[in-house]
Amino acid sequence: MLVLFHSFKGGVGVSTVAANIALSLLRLKRKVAIADLTHQQSLNFHIGVQEEEIPFLSVETMNELYPASEEFSGITIADLGSEIQKSSITQENILHISILSPNAGCMALFPEAFDKNHYYIINNANDRYNFPRAASQFVQDMVQDNLIGIIRQDEAVNEALGKLQPLHLYAPTSVALKDFDNCAHQLLRMIEMNISQHAEEVSADAS
Amino acid sequence: MSKKNIIPQDVNNLLKDISQPDFSYRAYDNRNPVEWHNWPLLEKAADYIAWKSKQNVKI
């Protein structure tokens, strides 16, 4: 299963979310690999260089990524950054996850990028301020069941990176860690559903 | 000056119970379920999404 993380707006934390969900999946004893198709190549920084249990797939394009993820046979988390790459690959076994931040700049671009086939994660939610709270509500109303989860704004994420430590060791009780874990659980449920749907389709085609 | 008087006004407000109906401060009010309608940007975004899905524009 290939899970693509991207955003139509830069600086919303795509790599942060992708890396922390990969680490949550690893803690849930799932087989996870990562791939970074961005120019920044910052996913390894977020994962932590000492993390050897997550293999890094060295690919540069979507056309290389898909066969590499099929060969890996676990869950491949790929960071596409803010560039949506065109590819001839069919949607089978691919989940598109768009990361949003509840700020005005991101909300202004949201209708242009809105896609019913994508799934969404709101990053840096903060219910204390009026606009972010309203924007989170708005996104929930628009995407409905396609919302995987909401990551609350938490300085511990930044501090953990500053300490070069994974979030679950630096701040095991942080709210963001709890939110990343919830998103990972939801993602697993969706992957299992997707695989069973696919199996049903295959058996229906065969009969 | 008594100790009570040196507390800034907004701290006094913060210490009030926001569930009281006469609470005049709009701080941390999360009781309105359709709050995003108050923001023209979000209203316009919602209209745009609705228009696109009505026109069946590939988005």
Dump pLDDT digits (tens) for B3-21: 455 544 455 555 555 455 5
| Cα distance between residue B59 and residue B45, in whole Å | 13
Is residue A109 a contact partner of residue A9, using CB atoms and an 8 Å limit?
Answer: yes
Reported confidence tier of residue B28, pLDDT bands at 50, 70, 90 = very low
| Cα distance between residue A122 and residue A150, in whole Å | 5
Dump pLDDT digits (tens) for A6-35: 999 989 999 999 999 999 999 999 999 999
The shortest CB-CB distance from B49 to any of A108, A114, A128 is to A114
Q: Residue B57 pLDDT > 90, yes or no?
A: no
Task: Report yes or no: A113 at the B interface, CB cutoff 8 Å.
Answer: yes
pLDDT of residue B25: 42
Q: Which of A75-84, A90-99, A194-203 has the lowest mean pLDDT?
A: A194-203
Length of chain A: 207
Strands A75-81 and A2-6: parallel
Residue A113 and residue B59: Cβ atoms within 8 Å?
yes
- In sequence order, which ranges of A54-150 are alpha helices (DSSP H)? 62-72, 104-113, 130-143
Q: Residue A182 pLDDT > 50, yes or no?
A: yes
pLDDT of residue B26: 40
Q: Residue A128 pLDDT > 70, yes or no?
A: yes
**What residues of chain A lie within 8 A of the CB of B50, using their CB?**
none
Q: How many CB atoms lie within 10 A of CB A108?
A: 14
Phi, psi (deg, nearest 5) at residue A97:
-120, 125
Residue A138 and residue B42: Cβ atoms within 8 Å?
yes
**Maximum CA pair distance of chain A?**
57
| Cα distance between residue A123 and residue A17, in whole Å | 8
Nearest chain A residue to B48, by CA:
A111
What are the tokens at A35? 């791939």
- Type and span of the H or E element at A6: strand A2-6
Dump pLDDT digits (tens) for A32-51: 999 999 988 889 888 886 67
Strands A75-81 and A147-152: unpaired
As for the ipTM of the complex, it is 0.81
Record the pTM. 0.81
Nearest chain A residue to B58, by CA:
A115
| Cα distance between residue A18 and residue A36, in whole Å | 10
pLDDT of residue A186: 94
